[in-house]
A and B are shown apart, each in its own frame.
Chain A
Amino acid sequence: MRYVDEFRDPELITRASEEIRRLVDPERHYRIMEVCGGHTHAIYRFGLKDILPSNIELIHGPGCPVCVLPMGRIDDGLAIAKNNPNVIFVAFGDMMRVPGAQGSPFEHKARGTDVRIVYSPADALELARKNPDKEVVFFAIGFETTAPSTALTLMNARMQDVRNFSVFCNHVTIVPAIRAILDSPDMRLDGFIGPGHVSTVIGCRPYEWIATVEGKPVVTSGFEPLDLLQSIVMLLRQLRAGEARVENQYKRVVPWEGNRAALKVMAEVFELRPYFEWRGLGFISQSALRIRAQYAQWDAEQRFAVPETRVADPKAAQCGEVLKGVLKPAQCKLFGKECTPEHPIGALMVSSEGSCAAYYNYEYRKSLVSRIGPAVSRVA
């Protein structure tokens, strides 16, 4: 095993976990939500659960864009390509195996639809430029991490007057989802590990209401084991002192005010939808972005007929409960049986950042404790 080398400093990990043990109140049960799917992946991969005291429970949040996208949106996007043979449907590789009710993009490709992968929205625009006799529809997805890139690409399309390019926009915003979770009656949370890369764009201010109105601390965090443990230390310090503030553990990447240029292009191109459906969470008001009227020429929902498919998740799948943290992945009836990363039924199994896939992939792997050995097990 080479895992030991992957941690910069096992000694610091040990110290952070000692500090966590010093700060926890043994009488209290802590429920901390990590909002971002990248954090979920890292938490499982590094077995962090095993070095935390048993009364700290990590709840996996809604921050995996592939997971929260309702199936009907995939069907709608693909229907455009299926009904218009001149259309090239382009999406990120992550989307290709995600099932719609009528099949995944890959399956549509196998049936003859022109489906292609791009790795950047800029390349989708380039594809349109290279194929002037085709219509290129880019299936845009993601939180504020990828929304600015789509926005800038749309500005370029307009500036360069590329008219055979349009975007089927599924961008969502993280803060309303956090609000929906806090409003949910079966949910009790003590604090949040705030997203890393989303915060690079939006900064830390948009979380302030969570602290001031809801009285829950938020710490934006990096993705390494030490980052996550330090963020938990920062949360526990606040909880112990009875405080609720927004703090930034990931200062080396996240500026408090965010990325102004990125926020500017998003405001230029997008406006909030009145409501949008989230898989597992239902309709959330003002939680997603749509393309402004000035850019209607490049908005696939304006350019093409969209069937507005609504697909109910399979009854037995309990994605919603898992997504809200009410159930653990393995408590879903389908987990590991009908629903696996190879044959995902629910969305949380599709992406490596979905909590079910992460749990499945790492549940039986060696935890951080056994990897870095006695240093940590001494305090465990």
Chain B
Amino acid sequence: MCLAIPGRIVEIAAGQNLVGTVEVTGVRRKVQLGLLEDDLPKAGDWVLIHVGFAMSKISEQDAQEQMSLLSALGETEQAMEEVRGYGLENGDGHDGHLAWNEKPIA
């Protein structure tokens, strides 16, 4: 939840709700853009994402550095799990259910 995940905007959806498609290391998911309505990103721009919402525009270099920071902190896996989960897609086809590596503790 506290991870800031860098992604590149691939396209902005038409319509009233500010939604776009973002790509994070090859994974494409829907993100909310409403919190950037004062300065909307366009396709090709880089953003920092928190909990499925783009929160700030950043440079490509900053995006790369943020990605290597996540890797250094050992959080890449967690970040990618979060990204894959956006849009209720957990990779196992079950809406919002536990991902493969999240077993309940007895």
Contacts and interface: CB of A to CB of B under 8 A. Distances in A.
B105 A97 contact: yes
Interface residues of B, number: 45
B24 to A, nearest CB: 12
Interface in A114-142: 116-123, 126-127, 130, 141-142
Contacts of B105: 97, 104, 106-107
A261 B106 CA distance: 43
A253 B56 contact: yes
Contact of A41 (B52, B71, B73): B73
A262 B65 CA distance: 25
A304 interface: no
A156 B88 contact: no
A253 B36 CA distance: 13
Interface string A32-61: 000001100110011000000000000000
Of B2, B37, B62, most buried by chain A (CB within 10 Å of CB) is B2
A152 B69 CA distance: 28
Nearest to B61: A252
B104 A119 contact: no
B69 to A, nearest CB: 6
Contacts of A130: 88, 95
A265 B34 contact: yes
Of B71, B85, B87, B88, most buried by chain A (CB within 10 Å of CB) is B88
Of A104, A148, A149, most buried by chain B (CB within 10 Å of CB) is A149
Size bracket of the A interface: 35 or more
Contact of B50 (A66, A118, A127, A146): A146
A117 B35 contact: no
A94 B1 contact: yes
Nearest to A116: B96
Contact of B32 (A41, A45, A152): A152
A93 interface: yes
A308 B88 CA distance: 31
B18 to A, nearest CB: 9
B14 interface: no
A260 B74 CA distance: 32
Contacts of B65: 8, 224
Given A149-B52, A260-B38, A252 B96 contact: no
A267 to B, nearest CB: 13
Contacts of A127: 88, 95-96
Interface in B61-82: 62, 65, 68-69, 71-75, 81-82
A342 to B, nearest CB: 9
Given A94-B2, A260-B38, 19 more contacts: A38-B2, A41-B73, A42-B73, A45-B74, A94-B1, A109-B104, A119-B51, A119-B81, A119-B86, A120-B51, A122-B52, A145-B55, A149-B53, A152-B34, A252-B62, A261-B35, A261-B38, A265-B34, A353-B2
